[in-house]
Structure 1
Amino acid sequence: MDNVGIVVDDLDAAVAFFTELGMELEGRMPIEGRWAGNVVGLRDMRSEIAMMRIPGGVPGRLELATYHAPRAIVPDPEVTPANTRGLHRVMFAVDDIEDTLARLRPHGAELVGEVTRFEDSYLLCYLRGPSGIILALAEQLS
């Protein structure tokens, strides 16, 4: 897999959020023109993307995109529950789940449920990030 794409309302806020999570900005650029619209099936498409990577040469990237034209469609309801069809969530392994949550809260992160222990293996939680994206965090205990 090369990357996972996520559409966001505020690209700067999303980049700041994922940077705080520990990802690095690989690059940022406008994407527009006939070729781009043909790929995604949107006429007169103009967007901007930011490619975020996991540091240390670990494979895995997020492509954050904001659409200037046509404007992104906001689902109804705007904040969808975890069982909504489509991309469910992206999970990140973290060293300290409470520290990570504390660092992400100033960037708008909100727990969906609660931090829960799975046996003696993991602490897990779901949280909402920029534009209502659901993320999961996992801290391995043993």
Structure 2
Amino acid sequence: MAIQRMDNVLIVVDDIDAVIAFFVALGMELEGRMPVEGRWVERVIGLDGVRQEVAMLRVPGGPGRVELARFHTPRAIAPDPADAPVNTLGIRRLMFAVDDIEETLARVRPHGAHLIGEVARYEDAFLLCYLRAPDNIIVALSQRLP
């Protein structure tokens, strides 16, 4: 049996409002937001006493989705260090293809995003950059060059 699709990527956050605002400014659409708790979720994720708020964002017109979760109980565990560099083991970043990197950066900077390095050109094919979003989420942007 084959995989049908990758449904979403979960990011556990502390400031769900700031992270939602960032991803909406990036161009994603808020699909829904709701509290999640109860025995069913505890059984699925293997934690007791779960009470969380979940938001689902989607790429307009595409299949990609990002799920955000803010745990009220049990409290989320902060990584060490909180602003881990991009070579830290584990999932380090999400990458989005955009039409215009500079315009996208102008939209997300007011929402707490800042460049980690700089916007760089890869051959004559792409402009690329990494940025740190709210809650220290690393997001890469890629712009195909004409």
Normalising by structure 2, what TM-score? 0.94
Deviation at 1:26, TM superposition (A): 0.5
Deviation at 1:51, TM superposition (A): 0.4
Percent of residue pairs identical: 66
1:74 lines up with 2:82 in the alignment: no
Once residues 113 and 26 of structure 2 are traced to their aligned partners in structure 1, the CA distance between those partners, rounded to angstroms, is: 11
Equivalent position SS for 1:36: helix
**How many residues of Structure 1 are paired with residues of Structure 2 in the alignment?**
141
In the alignment, what sits opposite 2:130? Answer: 126
Which residue of the other structure, out of 87, 90, 97, is the alignment partner of 2:91?
87
Q: Map 1:10-89 onto structure 2 (within 5 A).
A: 10-56=15-61, 58-89=62-93
**Which digits, 9 at most, give the CA deviation of each residue in 1:90-120, with x for residues without a partner?**
1001111011111111100011111100000
1:97 lines up with 2:105 in the alignment: no
Deviation at 1:41, TM superposition (A): 1.3
Once residues 38 and 111 of structure 1 are traced to their aligned partners in structure 2, the CA distance between those partners, rounded to angstroms, is: 39
Structure 1 segments (4+ residues) deviating >4 Å: none
Q: Structure 2 counterpart of 1:133, which letter?
A: I
**Which digits, 9 at most, give the CA deviation of each residue in 1:55-104, with x for residues without a partner?**
12x11100011100011111111110001111121100111101111111
Equivalent position SS for 1:135: strand
Normalising by structure 1, what TM-score? 0.97
Once residues 88 and 17 of structure 1 are traced to their aligned partners in structure 2, the CA distance between those partners, rounded to angstroms, is: 17
Once residues 41 and 110 of structure 1 are traced to their aligned partners in structure 2, the CA distance between those partners, rounded to angstroms, is: 35
Once residues 39 and 113 of structure 1 are traced to their aligned partners in structure 2, the CA distance between those partners, rounded to angstroms, is: 38
